[in-house]
Amino acid sequence: MEGEMRVTKEDVESSLTSALKPSHLEVIDTSGGCGASFEIEIVSDQFEGKRLLERHRLVNGALAEQMKHIHALSIKKALTPSQWKPQQ
């Protein structure tokens, strides 16, 4: 399997951080370390005024390179800072 890239939790965090500048980000590798599936909780100003589908597109877009190697991505929460505060 030449060119097989293993995606790490750090790769995902780094891409999301540079693209969406989150005020809260939690990435969990749910694949047992092989980098094939992740759960994400993200809070970003860039979600302001956007519907859930648009928020998910932003997340997926930020991870375009990694998505070639990730089999499952679960976006648990994609919230704006004002939506996040009441939940804390």
Asked whether residue 51 carries a pLDDT value surpassing 80, the answer given is: yes
pLDDT number for residue 1: 40
Query: What are residue 78's phi and psi, to 5 degrees?
Result: -135, 95
pLDDT in tens, 61-73: 999 999 999 999 9
pLDDT at 79 over 80: yes
Q: Residue 78 is encoded by which pair of tokens?
A: 């994609």
52 beta partners: none
Q: Which residue has the higher pLDDT, 65 or 4?
A: 65
Length of the chain: 88
Is the pTM value of this prediction over 0.85? yes
